[in-house]
Amino acid sequence: MVRLNRTTLSRKRFLLLLGSAFTAMGVSSKTSARPLSVRVNRWLELRNYSGTVDYLQNGQWRRAQSGQRLGSVGQGVRTGYGSLARLAVDTGIGFVSVSENTDLRVTQLYTTQRGGKVTELNVSRGQARMFVRPFTNPDSRFEIRTPSGVNGVRGTDFGVVTQPSGRSALAVLEGSVASSAQGQSVAVEANYQNLIFPGEPPSAPEPLVDDPSIDVQRLDRQNRHEDQTMVLLEGQTSPYNLFIVEGETQNTGREGDFSIVVPLPLNEVIEAKVITPSGTVKLYDLVVP
């Protein structure tokens, strides 16, 4: 029978606890990529809105009210056709203007141990414009994610558009934005724009052209249904734009081309709308011949 004195037991307990501590530290470093944060109340507040705006909390959508705050990961707002919302970021960091047919959600919202403010939002569809003041803390960052990439800033004025396909467009009005996807990143400076197609790296920046025009090449009645007349709409707009027809956001081709079939309205006028990444809106009433 082997006897262990108290000194031996104490040493073994100490080594066991020390080993557990190192194990826990190793697991922590592998499972958490986010910097250490401190508990500070962070939020985005719905300052004003018009039309139909819903608020997501605890997995449920409800009608939004002015003054509601998005303070947790997963919360968000969505806007209906013809609707708008404006969110204020806490501590005066900036504002987010949310256009119609848009879904915006919080993916990160915290303060680092050195006081940096980290705000990360996801725009899965629609258009939003951000006004963010320059950061003085090196830990601070503001990012807008889309299904195709990430746009990160440290203070600027920029807008994004996300089509239903996941393709995103970026327009920078002031400052600089790092546009990233597929492990590659490009700097988009003021008065420049670029695109990100799903599964592709970001395109090279090109001069900003805020052009909401459309070129209608075909507008024909199509008797494809016995009880309803359909209309074929073909044409082109800028590939950077969000294109909405009869309240529904449409996908466009790589060059902005579109071919859409919609039911003929009773007034025989197709309502189309174009929204640029910067938020410029133009409405078209297309009379069906």
Read off the pLDDT band of 40 (50, 70, 90): low
pLDDT at 134 over 80: yes
Whole-angstrom Cα distance, residue 243 to residue 239? Answer: 9
Same CATH topology for 37-207 and 214-287: the answer is: no
The predicted model gives 129-147 an average pLDDT of 94
What pLDDT does 225 receive?
Answer: 61
pLDDT digits (tens, 9 = 90+) for 158-204: 999 999 999 999 999 999 999 999 999 999 999 999 999 999 999 99
What pLDDT does 14 receive?
Answer: 37
Lowest mean pLDDT among 22-31, 44-53, 68-77, 106-115: 22-31
The predicted model gives 39-53 an average pLDDT of 89
The predicted model gives 3-18 an average pLDDT of 41
What pLDDT does 91 receive?
Answer: 72
pTM of this structure? 0.84
The predicted model gives 233-246 an average pLDDT of 98
Cα-based angle 277, 126, 99 (whole degrees, multiple of 5): 75
Read off the pLDDT band of 113 (50, 70, 90): very high
**Greatest distance between any 2 Cα atoms in the chain:** 103
All residues at 6 or more sequence positions from 195 whose CB lies less than 8 Å from its CB, including other chains: 167, 168, 169, 170, 202, 203, 239, 240
Mean pLDDT of the chain: 88
- Provide the H-helix boundaries in the chain: 6-31
Whole-angstrom Cα distance, residue 289 to residue 275? Answer: 26
Whole-angstrom Cα distance, residue 121 to residue 236? Answer: 30
SS3 128: strand
- Say if CB 243 and CB 250 are below 8 A apart: yes
Read off the pLDDT band of 58 (50, 70, 90): confident
The predicted model gives 264-282 an average pLDDT of 97
- Say if CB 194 and CB 170 are below 8 A apart: yes
In DSSP terms, which residues pair with 181 in a beta bridge?
184
What is the bridge-based pairing of β-strands 141-146 and 117-132? Answer: parallel
Alpha carbons within 13 angstroms on the beta-carbon side of residue 169 total 29
Note every long-range contact of 167-170, with CB atoms under 8 Å and residues 24 or more positions apart, other chains counting. Answer: 167/195, 167/196, 167/197, 167/198, 167/251, 168/123, 168/195, 168/196, 169/193, 169/194, 169/195, 169/196, 169/239, 169/240, 169/241, 169/277, 170/194, 170/195, 170/196, 170/277
In this structure, CATH architecture of domain 214-287: Sandwich (2.60)
Comparing C-alpha atoms, which of 77, 81, 82, 75 is closest to residue 42?
A: 75
| Terminal C-alpha separation, the chain | 103
Q: Where are the domains of the chain?
A: 37-207, 214-287
Whole-angstrom Cα distance, residue 114 to residue 94? Answer: 20
In DSSP terms, which residues pair with 272 in a beta bridge?
245, 284
Domain 37-207 has CATH 2.60.120.1440: yes
Percent of the chain with pLDDT over 70: 85
All residues at 6 or more sequence positions from 149 whose CB lies less than 8 Å from its CB, including other chains: 168, 179, 180, 181, 182, 196, 202
Comparing C-alpha atoms, which of 284, 281, 286, 285 is closest to residue 100?
A: 281
The predicted model gives 63-92 an average pLDDT of 94
- Say if CB 95 and CB 86 are below 8 A apart: yes
Read off the pLDDT band of 224 (50, 70, 90): low
What pLDDT does 155 receive?
Answer: 84
Helix (H) / strand (E) containing 43:
none
Percent of the chain with pLDDT over 90: 79
pLDDT digits (tens, 9 = 90+) for 15-36: 344 344 333 333 333 333 455 5
